Structure 1
Amino acid sequence: MRDHQDLLSASALTAFRLNGQFLALAERLAAPAELTATRWQVLGAVLDEPLPVAGIARAMGITRQSVQRTADLLVADGLAEYRDNPAHRRAKLVAPTAAGLAAVRAINPGHREAADRLATVLDPARWEQALHALRDLSAALDTLDGQH
């Protein structure tokens, strides 16, 4: 069995590489819809329900400032809108517009094709195990927040 410090380093390096690979794939998939990976990510976070910028940032694991900049650009381009938030007067909710929903839908065929191609290389059962392991690792890292 590997040393714990080695496991942490190897896990982080693998996650960094995966992040880069996912971002590159997302950029390719989002391009035909004239979106960037970041814009797709923010729109994707509010497809099911409008969220405040801070909620999107928490869900995506990115900074509030980055989400705010992206949300402002999406609103300026007519892909998202700010709505009143009944729970907080100053923290507006971000919601997709019809144009934003159409842009995300335009990504779906390429997204499905990429997923199907990946499933020919990585057994779907193994892929699901990997997803569970990644979620477990993320949850474990969350428990370290605030610990020294």
Structure 2
Amino acid sequence: MDEIHNRQHVVKLNRPERTMEGDVFSSFAITALRLAGHLTAAGDRLAKPEGQTSARWQVLAAARRSDMSVAQIARALGLARQGVQRLADVLEREGLIAYADNPQHQRAKLVRLTAEGAARLGAIEIAQAGWANELGAAFTSAELDAARVVMARVMEMLEADEVPVD
């Protein structure tokens, strides 16, 4: 019993002190990470009837927005280029996207949505609209917008490396 108490004391001594704001931000970050997991799982369920996953859905949606290379899609989604390349290659083999010549870069092909890819993406988006409408009804627009603004500010700070990570 004494040994357990001593170990707990050492853990408490080695734990860095956080401000009240640091504690609240840490709780926010943990909640955001948990939310991200739930959103990914929900996205997988929404995309599954079309034979897709959340990750594949994101690449299909990015391919529809404009002519972007795999690297540009990866940057826009905040993902690793190699992972997006693997997904894009699978989607291309399945006929959901096509690679096109890029006048800006000889080797970096542009990713374009095919008619079949657009049809699958459209079906997923119909399911997502109902899901989003139902969840959104539980909140006011002001609540959701305030949450979005805070998350956007945190992302901007992290992307700009304004806060050092030691």
Are 2:51 and 1:51 equivalent residues in the alignment? no
Moved more, 81-90 or 29-38: 29-38
Q: 1:146 to 1:16 in 2, by over 3 A?
A: closer
User: What is the RMSD of the two structures over their aligned residues, measured on CA atoms?
Assistant: 1.7
- Structure 1 match to 2:42: 25
Structure 1 residue ranges without an equivalent (≥5): none
Would the aligned equivalents of 2:98 and 2:111 in 1 still touch at CA under 8 Å?
yes
- Structure 1 match to 2:129: 112
How far is 1:146 from its partner?
9.4
Segments of 4+ moved more than 4 angstroms: 145-148
Q: Secondary structure at the match of 1:47?
A: helix
Q: 1:145 to 1:125 in 2, by over 3 A?
A: closer
How far is 1:102 from its partner?
0.5
Aligned pairs (5 A) from 1:88-99: 88-99=105-116
Are 2:153 and 1:136 equivalent residues in the alignment? yes
The letter of the residue matching 1:84 is: D
TM-score (norm 1): 0.91
- Structure 1 match to 2:102: 85
Q: 1:45 to 1:9 in 2, by over 3 A?
A: same
How far is 1:147 from its partner?
5.2
The letter of the residue matching 2:106 is: R
Moved more, 95-104 or 44-53: 44-53
Q: Secondary structure at the match of 1:121?
A: coil
The letter of the residue matching 1:92 is: K
Give the structure with higher Rg (CA). 2
Q: Count residues with an aligned counterpart.
A: 147
Q: Distance in 1 between matches of 2:24 and 2:104?
A: 42
Q: Deviations over 1:83-125 (max 9, x none)?
A: 1111110111111101001001011221111111112222222
Q: Distance in 2 between matches of 1:30 and 1:50?
A: 23
How far is 1:126 from its partner?
0.7
The percentage of counterpart residues that share the same residue type is 39
Q: Secondary structure at the match of 2:111?
A: strand
TM-score (norm 2): 0.82
How far is 1:45 from its partner?
1.2
